[in-house]
Amino acid sequence: MDENQQNFNQNHAHESEPVFTPQPSSENPKHVQNRFRVFFIVFVIVSYLIGYNVGHKGYVFVPKDFKIVNQDSQSQSVDYNLLWKAIDIINNKYIDKPVDQQKILEGAISGAVASVGDPYTVYFNPKNLDNFQTSLKGSFTGIGAEVGLQNGNIVVVAPLQDSPAQKAGLKAKDVIAKVDGKATTGWSVDQAVSVIRGPKGTQVVLTIVRAGQDKPLEIKITRDEIKIKSVRWEYKQVEKDGKKKNIAVITISQFGDDTTDLMNSAVNDVLKHSVDGIVLDLRNNPGGYLQSAVEVASNWVEGGKTIVTEAHSDGTSQVFAAKGNNRLKDIKTVALINGGTASAAEILSGALHDYNIAELIGEKSFGKGSVQELIDLPNNGGAVKVTVAKWITPNGKNLNHDGLNPDNQVTLTQDQADKGQDPQMDKAVDEVIK
């Protein structure tokens, strides 16, 4: 997730009340009516006493014990009175009263969701939910970097192409130790995003811990409006054995709302140019919509063949297959990946690799191969994004955590990047015209 974010299937959960069908009664209607009156009076008195006893403490929920089965299949009782007791202590003892009950509620939800230990299962309050949904629409204000949680650290998944983050020198796998001098220890991803984002023209200072560097780096970034066209393409002419070769370079920066349409335009243009090969650049692509990745892969993979399988915790699975318009199948293709290639970008890379369509060149991918479902919370305006499945490539590779290893390992150093050199692209061009 984000500053931009991550792939998900958006669904809405609906709660329903059980329907009871009234049965005919043989009792005297007056007796039934009198009994109802007595019951109603007793109910009102009991409700008043409960409401007074609980309500004066600042909340109106009667806690209960829940019998649960934990992950070791051992029954145990969970006393939710502890939660309400803790809230009661805060309400009564905290120095700056009254305490904002909405913040307490959201904090409790956030903590409960975070307790599963999955960095991609998170609670979004209404503001963060809006930021999350805006990210994949292709325009937002910030620094233009995907961030995530890895080994308890806030890390850069990938800076977006031509973003303030990329121009300032932010790199995939950078650990964000501080934001404007505030340590990120214990932060969730949405906390980091909310602090890193800000109005256009303002600055944020990130303290970065980078592999291979002796001391932390301070990187100052000026926020800007991030407008992203997720697909770009260009042509390179190279000489091979005295003959000029025409190579198309298609760069996909994320899988968003515009990806399928832009990719169709790219394919139409590439076919008009009669190219000798294609370099598919997926470096620093943090992912996005699963369906967009499937549709892009369908430009190479034969219709009906598996692009990716979603494996669910209940043992069921769902197969996503190519759509059958594989217009690029006869053009030699290589794919560029690196540590910022994640999620839906790994799906595309994995499918092209497993069907021997594309050689992978570059560095090992990020390893984010899980599926999140976004479920709205009623009467709240927020939502829970929960991991519901993991992704498996056509040949059975589990993308979750493992990542993809390139067939041809080529590194790109910061010094090379600073000098405008790109040995990974150079290698890809060499391979595609062999």
Q: Is 170 exposed, middle or buried (0-12, 13-18, 19+ CB in 10 A)?
A: buried
Distance CA 6, CA 289 (A): 8
Residues with Cβ within 8 Å of residue 32, at least 6 apart in sequence:
25
Degrees, nearest 5: CA angle 229-268-347: 60
User: In this structure, are residues 97 and 91 in contact, taking their beta carbons and an 8 Å threshold?
Assistant: yes
List the catalytic residue out of 343, 349, 365, 370.
343
CA distance 297 to 423: 25
Is 2 considered catalytic here? no
> Cβ atoms within 10 A of the Cβ of 25, count?
9
d(CA 6, CA 148): 9
Structure tokens at 103: 């913040």
Annotated catalytic residue, options 2, 174, 224, 354: 354
How far is 345 from 326, CA to CA, in rounded Å?
Answer: 18
Active site residue 64: no
Candidates 150, 174, 151, 170; CA nearest to 161 is: 170
Whole-angstrom Cα distance, residue 143 to residue 2? 11
State how far the Cα of 237 lies from the Cα of 209, in Å rounded to an integer: 39
Placement of tokens 């008195």 in the chain:
45
Residue tagged active-site, from 332, 368, 385, 390? 368
Q: Is-catalytic flag, 343?
A: yes
For the record, the structure tokens of 141 come out as 């204000």
Q: Catalytic amino acids? A: 343, 354, 368
